[in-house]
Amino acid sequence: MSITEIIFWGLSVLALFCAIMVVASKSPVHSILYLIGVFFAISGHYILMNAQFLAIVNIIVYAGAIMVLFLFVVMLMNLNADAEPKKNRYLQFAGLISGGCLFLVLVAAVTRSADAGRVMQLGTGESGLIKNLGRILFNEYVIPFEISSVLFLSAMIGAVVIGKKN
């Protein structure tokens, strides 16, 4: 095992553990903190794949901005573990079965796909570096990039309109 493999396994275990705890923990505030942990672990994976820009932007946007807003809302609503309504036992059982089915389908789809045998190439590939990423985005993929920015703009305007109503 090389040092990158050790880091890879450590990050994977961390990401999976935090992801499970997001669902399992009773308090919403703890769930959010575990979700931030997941984002950090995934950013670590991005860095292993030499995609430094993606890693940092993942932290700035998701962990730094969106999760702060989540935490904000949860704190204002003052959701506590005991305030959560007790769910029907049959409903929980049905949820478990349907979630398991989805998991099965996903695993089957991934293992049968053409890329199943491919292993992540660690520390190679230059397209994640900011210079190359900018070139690719603004040359090859400029139309999808512009369309997605228009989408964001319309979402922003929509948020302002909804906010103005009240």
Partner 1 sequence: MLLALDWLLILEKLVLIVIVVMASLLIAMYTTFAERKVAAVLQDRRGPNRAGPFGILQPVADGLKLFFKEEIIPNFSSKFLFIMGPSLAMLTAIMTGAVVPWGDKVHLFGRDIALQIADVNVGILYVFAVVSMGVYGIMIGGWASNNKYSLMGGLRAASQIISYELPMGISLIALLMVTGTLSLKEMVIQQQGGMWNIVYQPLGFLIFLICAFAECNRTPFDLPEAENELIGGYHTEYSSMKLGFYLFSEYINMFVSSVIMSTMFFGGYDVLPFVDESQWGLSDNIMALIGIAALMIKVFCFIFLFMWVRWTIPRFRYDQLMRLGWRVLIPLALANMLVTGAIVLLKQNNWHF
User: How many other CB atoms are there within 10 angstroms of residue 52's CB atom?
Assistant: 15
Q: What residues have CB less than 8 Å from 123, skipping those under 6 apart?
A: 4, 48, 49, 50
Between helix 67-77 and helix 28-48 the angle, nearest 10°, is 170
Q: How far is CA 44 from CA 11, 56, 62, 85, in A?
A: 7, 10, 14, 36
Q: Which of 76, 83, 97, 116 binds partner 1 (CB under 8 A)?
A: 76
CB-nearer residue toward partner 1: 110 or 137: 137
Considering only residues 119 to 158 of the shown chain, the ones binding partner 1 according to CB under 8 A are: 129-130
By CB under 8 A, name the one of 4, 12, 24, 72 that touches partner 1.
Answer: 72
| 63 binding partner 1? (CB under 8 A) | yes
Residue of 19, 21, 33, 122 interacting with partner 1 (CB under 8 A)? 33
Q: Does 70 bind partner 1 (CB under 8 A)?
A: no
Q: How far is the CB of 75 from partner 1 (least distance, A)?
A: 5
